[in-house]
Amino acid sequence: MGRYGGVDIGTSSVKVGVYDESGRRLGFERRPHPTIRPLPGHAEQDPNAWLHAVRGCLTEAGPLDGISFGGLMSTFVPVGGDGVSLGMAVTWEDQRRPADLPDTVPTSSYRSRSDWFRQTNPDVWSQSRWLLLPKDYVILGLAGGTIGDVLSWNGVLKLDGSGLDPDLDEEARSRIPTLGPPDATVASRFGPLRIGLPDAVAAVVGCGLDTNTAYSISGTSEVIAILSDVAESSRDIRSVVPLCGRWLHAGPSSSGGMVLEWAAKILTSGDVAGLSHRAQQSAHRNPPLFVPYLSGERAPMWNSRLKGAFLDLEADHTTDDLCFAVLEGVQFAVRRLLAAVEGSTRVSTQRMRGAGGSLSDPFIAQLRADRCNRMLEVAADPETASRGAACLAAAGVIEKLEETASRFSASRLVYEPRASHFADERFQRWFRGTEHLTASAT
């Protein structure tokens, strides 16, 4: 029976799972890598930490019949012609923007980053041959070739795939690697490498592909995605990629695990489990509200200037109440994002499939079901990005991906929503508060 590896290069760690042909997990390893924040608004990573972690995990895994990747997006590293990085990678969390960049262009986009490197690091820019995404850099280190998948680079391609975004000048275009389909294969000593998928798309595949379902992928950030027959993107949801004959609309939020970890450090003993425990002790009839835009917000706001805030704070509120407000605020941000993705796809969903991050906590999972008013099915195996990547390795070609995903998807825990006028009223107050903060940040 075959053995297939799924590599997930995420914001906080590299994870490698090994699966057999039925999708049963045979082994798993996680190796963390730090985000370095030398100054406010900076978020950098050492690209060689990704490469060393992946190489070490694959060495431990032994010979594999196929390997594929789920890779972190909106994170770029300048690379010289010799294949060596020329400095730190700038991650999606970094808030630095080049001068004169239109507000309509996301800070973490390729256009923004290429302009920023050119303006602030002209020596690095002149020495660079490529500006690569994390999995592109890792594949270069493992296989010696530069190739990226068209889904991960969809932000620089026209929607119909006919060419590059005309807003990119020739210098920026020249630093994009050769692009191929996700099932393109390169040889390595670890086994054949399929270049893979964006990490959020890999996580959706690992949950099992279905229609009329919203996918809720939790990690350092939150992603909501829906498969649809609609090809055009909306103003609020800008990532639309072809997948198994349909179109996956995906909205990445900046408000998720990063916010919960921040709150856990200042309000509890330091972990999200402690935050959840304290939130469950909240007994106030009207706890405060929390706006979780600590690093601005991507979808559906696309405003890096947004700030977080507690709203309706009263003298008798306790630490437990603040913990509850933070957890609830993240769920409200997900609810707002869900509405935007449903609007983009013209699909009204009745259920969500979730995986990863804080959804492993039953209290948080139930709170998401309640505040989004959707049945929530949470994958029993939270590592759906590595599972989805391995699914592509086992399928071999995109045409077989949906069929393979049906047997690779993990079993699920079901949370039924508890309808509440109180929750709806709180969401409306929260929404009005975010609108006020948005107006202040423009």
Q: How many CB atoms lie within 10 A of CB 268?
A: 20
351-355 vs 375-379, strand pairing mode: parallel
**CATH code for position 195:** 3.30.420.40
Helix, strand, coil shares of the chain as percentages rounded to 5? 35, 25, 40
How many angstroms separate the CA atoms of 190 and 305, rounded?
44
Domain region containing 99:
3-200
CB-CB contact of 153 with 145 (8 Å): no
Sign of the dihedral defined by the CA atoms of residues 388, 389, 391, 396, in that order: positive
How many angstroms separate the CA atoms of 369 and 352, rounded?
8
Pull the structure tokens for residue 229: 């027959």
Question: Considering only CA atoms, which of 187, 176, 179, 169 is closest in space to residue 67?
Answer: 187
Note the helical H segments in 62-169: 110-120, 122-127, 134-143
Whether residue 22 lies inside any domain: the answer is: yes
* Residue 251: partners with Cβ closer than 8 Å, 6 or more residues away: 223, 224, 225, 236, 237, 239, 298, 299, 300, 337, 340, 341, 344
Whether residue 359 lies inside any domain: the answer is: no
How many angstroms separate the CA atoms of 268 and 41, rounded?
24
Question: Considering only CA atoms, which of 278, 364, 369 is closest in space to residue 323?
Answer: 278
CB-CB contact of 222 with 354 (8 Å): no
DSSP structural state of residue 410? P
Residue 106: per-residue pLDDT: 86
* Residue 421: partners with Cβ closer than 8 Å, 6 or more residues away: none
Whether residue 104 lies inside any domain: the answer is: yes
In angstroms, the first-to-last Cα distance of the chain is: 57
Q: Helix, strand, or coil here: 422?
A: helix
Q: Helix, strand, or coil here: 32?
A: strand
Q: How far is CA 368 from CA 254, 286, 352, 414, in A?
A: 17, 18, 10, 12
Whether residue 32 lies inside any domain: the answer is: yes
Whether residue 380 lies inside any domain: the answer is: no
Strands (E), 254-384: 289-291, 309-311, 351-355, 375-379
pLDDT in tens, 266-305: 999 889 999 999 999 999 999 999 999 998 999 999 988 8
Task: Domain count for the chain, please give it.
Answer: 1
Question: Considering only CA atoms, which of 114, 149, 108 is closest in space to residue 130?
Answer: 114
**Is omega for the bond preceding 181 within 30 degrees of 0, making it cis?**
no
Beta bridge partners of 224: 216, 251
Whether residue 235 lies inside any domain: the answer is: no
- 315 alpha carbon, distance to own chain's centre: 37
CB-CB contact of 163 with 209 (8 Å): no
Residues of the chain with pLDDT below 70 are 158-163, 442
Residue with tokens 């909106």: 74
Please give the full DSSP string across 362-419, using - where no structure is assigned.
HHHHHHHHHHHTSEEEEESSS-HHHHHHHHHHHH-SGGGHHHHHHHHSPPEEEE----
Whether residue 386 lies inside any domain: the answer is: no
Residue with tokens 């390893």: 29
Pull the structure tokens for residue 212: 């009329």
Whether residue 90 lies inside any domain: the answer is: yes
Residue 1: per-residue pLDDT: 74
Helix (H), strand (E) at residue 69: strand 66-71
Residue 442: per-residue pLDDT: 65
